[in-house]
Amino acid sequence: MAVKVGEQAPDFNLQDQNGTQVSLKDFRGKAVVLYFYPKDDTPGCTMESCAFRDQYEVFKSAGAEVIGISGDSPESHQQFSSKYQLPFTLLSDKGNKVRQLYGATAAFGLFPGRVTYVINAEGIIQYVFDSMLNFKGHVEETLKQLQSLPN
């Protein structure tokens, strides 16, 4: 069951690209743009992640942290992050448990989906953008929503 706008974002504890444990609750007090993507270093995921990279300072200026999640290993995330100079956290969701918790699946729930959530400083989901093919839309639409949130 997918989480919906107005609901509390489920907390999680996952390993980042540097091997550090990260929880969503670590970011309370600031907005979070949480994006689930299928796989490191694939064309669509690279395009999406680089679009987040290119607008990262705009997200930071809006008071938000960007976090990417896929089922890839921390080592894969480290290589992907280094190769494309991604300045934000990538989390390893081995077994896609957090993805399932959020309902970020596609194609009858069988394949990893491409879903982005805007979460406010209190941990409430404010916006959900779900599109497998509109890679840059994840950045453009979530940035619009983020900028409309009250500070």
Handedness of CA 54, 37, 67, 129 (dihedral sign): positive
pTM (global) more than 0.85: yes
Residue 45 is a catalytic residue: yes
Residue, of 98 and 136, whose pLDDT is higher: 98
Contact criterion met (CB below 8 Å) for 100 and 2: no
Domain at 13-148: CATH code: 3.40.30.10
Residue 61 has pLDDT above 90, yes or no: yes
Instruction: Read off the pLDDT of residues 105-143 as tens digits, 9 standing for 90 and up.
Output: 876 666 788 999 999 999 999 999 888 777 788 888 898
With 0-12 / 13-18 / 19 or more C-beta atoms within 10 angstroms meaning exposed / middle / buried, residue 112 is buried
The residue among 82, 28, 32 whose CA lies nearest residue 62 is 32
* Active-site residue identified among 9, 22, 45, 146: 45
Concatenated DSSP letters for the chain? ----TTSBPPP-EEEETTS-EEEGGGGTTSEEEEEE-S-TTSHHHHHHHHHHHHTHHHHHHTTEEEEEEESS-HHHHHHHHHHHT--SEEEE-GGGHHHHHHT-EETTTTEE--EEEEE-TTSBEEEEEE-SS-HHHHHHHHHHHHHHS--
Domain spans, the chain: 13-148
Instruction: Read off the pLDDT of residues 13-35 as tens digits, 9 standing for 90 and up.
Output: 999 999 999 999 999 999 999 99
User: Please, which pLDDT band fits residue 71 given cuts at 50, 70 and 90?
Assistant: very high
The residue among 27, 31, 8 whose CA lies nearest residue 147 is 31
Mean pLDDT of 65-94: 97
